[in-house]
Structure formats: C-alpha cells, structure tokens
C-alpha cells in the first residue's frame, strides 16, 4: 500500500501462485518478506538551499568528467610513445589512464549523486506482467517517463543537462583517439626481409660472424642472421631480426627433396625461424626425426620434407631461404625468401 505521497505507485504483493512443487523442498519456517523500508525524507527534499547545492555538485562531477576526457586527449599527444623508450610508453599510459579514469569517474559519481539527492527516492514494487503491456499500460509508461523527467528535472535543470551532454559527448573521444595507434600502415614491410638486399652472408646469431659451408656438419644447427644486422640500431635491429632470423641445418643430401637440394648447398638448408602459426621462434631441432619444433604451441615441421607441417596449429611450411657459397667458401643468400615469412596477415594470399 502506498503510504508516501511521493510514491508513484505501489502494488501490493499478490499471494503466491498455486503450482506443483515437484522435487523442490518447501521450508516450513521460511522467512517472512521484510517488505520495503519506510521512506526517509532527505535534506534535499526539505530545503531548497540543499537542493541547489546538490545540483551544483552533480554539475561539478560532470564537469570533472569533461576535464578528464579532454586531459586524456591532450596527454595522448603531449606525452607520445616514441616507439623505443619504455619510459615514454609508461608516461603516456599513466596520463592517458588518469584522464579516462576521471572521465568515467565524473559521469559515474555525478549520476549516482543526482539519483540519490535530487530524483525521487520512493521505492516501488510492481508485479511481473506480460512482456508487451496493454495500450493503457503503455500510455501509463509514457506518463511515468514524463513524470520522471518532470521530477528529475532533466528538462528543467539546464546546467545539469548540458554538462551531462558535454560529459557523454566527450567521454568516447579518447577511445577514438587511441585508434590512431593502429597506424601507420606496414605497407609491404611484412612481405620482405633484410635478405632482399641480395648476396648477404649468413652470420651467426648473435655475434654476426660469417659461416663457411665447411663449418656446418651433419646434424649441427646454426641460428643465423643476415650480414650487417648487428650494425643496426634499435628498433630496426629487432624489427629486422624478427623477420630475417633463419635456422641452418645440414642433412644427408639423399634424405631431402629435390627443391631442398636446388635451394641448399650440399645438404645444407636454411629455413625461416619464424613459426607460420603466430610467429614464435622455431628453435628446437630433433636430429633423429629431422623435426623442427615450435615451443609455443608445438607445431612440428619435417625438415627432410620441405619443412611441411606434421603436427600442430601451423598451416604452412616454414619458407626456405635459397643459399649459395661465395668465392671464399662462405654461405650467402642471393635474395629474399620467395614468400612472406611468419604468420598470416590480412592481405596475405597464401
């Protein structure tokens, strides 16, 4: 029964429906419904002065949200991540996070404070009904919305309404700004590696000393980088190494395919070390089975059969790097891989 004149409507709880209880256990001493707490009049209900103060506090919180969102946008450009220095990333993240936090905090606290101090606080209970109401019910709903607008002062309180619009309009913008981190476009950098410079010697990782064909014994594995890579500075060094790293192995020439013989040198074959699943370094070689294993998700490649996938989630063989021997007996790569190395990317055809 509605006792408080501020209540919109209070529908008395109906008796429980009759239904089969099935296997459900009905406790004989179930707790009685405690009902709704008696309504307590707030200071903002009694005093115009308190009401106005609360309205200013709500507007202030929405204004704080506006400042926070604007600060996040400013901080994104004022403290950019330079792509190298981890400290610049830390500062960028901290200030960006601080601004977005304030943006959310202001809207959240403002909305709660508005509801708790200025909107009607009468509790209303309503019986469940069919999803679509009758025309009368729908008309009543419209009336309730109109009443809610009137009582919350949404249309009347211009300061609150406008600052809320401002807060909501600005809040998503930091997220939009973050989309610029998706650029710049990699263009065709995913299709080429440093080996494309041509006639580069195969050198040991990490010291960069060149490898002679005679250094490579059957069963031995070399972790290889292109000549000149060690002279690069960060971040180019890591970016290039992440694409150009190679595994070099010597097998019995009678155990490998014709393509491997053509692209290798006397049983020495070179393969991209970048897993075709999601790009981990394939670094484990099982000499007896000629299997290369990726430690991340156990993709297994058959080195004696063009590095075909024999197990795991990788969907393509590791690309082979064509190698030769120069006049001094050092292993060289005459050109780049014939296909992009590593995992699939959106524009890759095969």
CA distance 10 to 58: 29
- Judged on CB neighbours under 10 Å (0-12, 13-18, 19+), 252 is exposed
Q: Is the Cβ–Cβ distance between 334 and 325 less than 8 Å?
A: no
The three state secondary structure string of 186-202 is CCCCCCCCHHHHCCEEE
Q: Is the Cβ–Cβ distance between 43 and 74 less than 8 Å?
A: no
Residue nearer to ligand FES on the CB measure, 261 or 291? 291
CA distance 103 to 173: 10
Instruction: Work out how close the CB of 58 gets to ligand FES at its nearest, in angstroms, rounded to a whole number.
Output: 52
Instruction: Work out how close the CB of 320 gets to ligand FES at its nearest, in angstroms, rounded to a whole number.
Output: 17
H/E run at residue 174: helix 173-178
Instruction: Work out how close the CB of 318 gets to ligand FES at its nearest, in angstroms, rounded to a whole number.
Output: 10
Does the protein bind ligand FES through residue 297 (CB under 6 A)? yes
Q: Which residue in the set 243, 277, 316, 322 belongs to the binding site for ligand FES (CB under 6 A)? A: 277
Instruction: Work out how close the CB of 221 gets to ligand FES at its nearest, in angstroms, rounded to a whole number.
Output: 17
Would you state the torsion angle of the CA atoms of residues 243, 244, 250, 254, taken in this order, to the nearest 10 degrees?
Answer: 70
Instruction: Work out how close the CB of 311 gets to ligand FES at its nearest, in angstroms, rounded to a whole number.
Output: 9
Residue nearer to ligand FES on the CB measure, 153 or 313? 313
**Piece of the chain touching ligand FES by CB under 6 A; list 108-116, 226-234, 277-285, 331-339:** 277-285
CA distance 275 to 298: 10
CA distance 166 to 153: 17
Residue nearer to ligand FES on the CB measure, 58 or 282? 282
Q: Which residue in the set 314, 321, 323, 333 belongs to the binding site for ligand FES (CB under 6 A)? A: 314
Using CB under 6 A as the binding rule, the residues of this chain from 247 to 276 that contact ligand FES are: 275
CA distance 29 to 20: 19
Instruction: Work out how close the CB of 282 gets to ligand FES at its nearest, in angstroms, rounded to a whole number.
Output: 7
Does the protein bind ligand FES through residue 294 (CB under 6 A)? yes
Does the protein bind ligand FES through residue 278 (CB under 6 A)? yes
CA distance 183 to 187: 10
Residue nearer to ligand FES on the CB measure, 198 or 295? 295
Q: Give the footprint of ligand FES on this chain (CB under 6 A).
A: 275, 277-280, 294, 296-297, 299, 312-314
């Amino acid at each position: 029964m509605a006792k408080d004149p501020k209540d919109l409507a209070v529908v008395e709880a109906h008796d429980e429906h009759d239904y089969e209880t099935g296997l459900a256990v009905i406790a004989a001493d179930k707790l009685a419904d405690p009902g709704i707490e008696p309504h307590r009049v707030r200071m903002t209900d009694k005093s115009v002065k308190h009401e106005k103060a609360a309205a200013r506090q709500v507007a202030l919180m929405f204004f704080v949200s506006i400042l926070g969102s604007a600060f996040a946008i400013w901080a994104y450009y004022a403290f950019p991540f330079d792509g190298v220095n981890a400290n610049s990333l830390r500062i960028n993240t901290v200030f960006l996070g601080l601004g977005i936090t304030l943006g959310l905090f202001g809207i959240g606290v403002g909305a709660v404070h508005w509801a708790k101090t200025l909107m009607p606080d009468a509790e209303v209970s309503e019986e469940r009904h069919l999803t679509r109401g009758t025309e009368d019910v729908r008309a009543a709903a419209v009336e309730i919305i109109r009443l809610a607008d009137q009582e919350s002062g949404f249309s009347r309180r211009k300061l609150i309404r406008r600052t809320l619009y401002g807060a909501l309009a600005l809040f998503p913008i930091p997220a939009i700004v973050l989309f610029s981190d998706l650029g710049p476009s990699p263009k065709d950098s995913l299709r080429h590696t440093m080996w494309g410079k041509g006639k580069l010697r195969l050198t040991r990782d990490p010291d960069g000393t060149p490898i002679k064909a005679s250094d490579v014994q059957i069963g031995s594995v070399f972790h290889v980088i292109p000549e000149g890579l060690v002279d690069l500075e960060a971040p180019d060094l890591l970016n290039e190494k992440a694409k150009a790293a190679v595994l070099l192995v010597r097998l019995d020439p009678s155990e490998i395919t014709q393509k491997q013989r053509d692209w290798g040198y006397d049983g020495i074959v070179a393969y991209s070390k970048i897993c075709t699943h999601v790009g981990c370094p394939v670094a484990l070689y099982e000499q007896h089975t000629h299997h290369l294993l990726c430690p991340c998700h156990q993709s297994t490649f058959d080195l004696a059969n063009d590095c075909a996938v024999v197990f795991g989630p990788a969907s393509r063989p590791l690309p082979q790097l064509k190698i030769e021997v120069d006049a001094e007996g050092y292993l060289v790569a005459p050109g780049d891989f014939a296909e992009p190395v590593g995992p699939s990317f959106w524009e890759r055809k095969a």
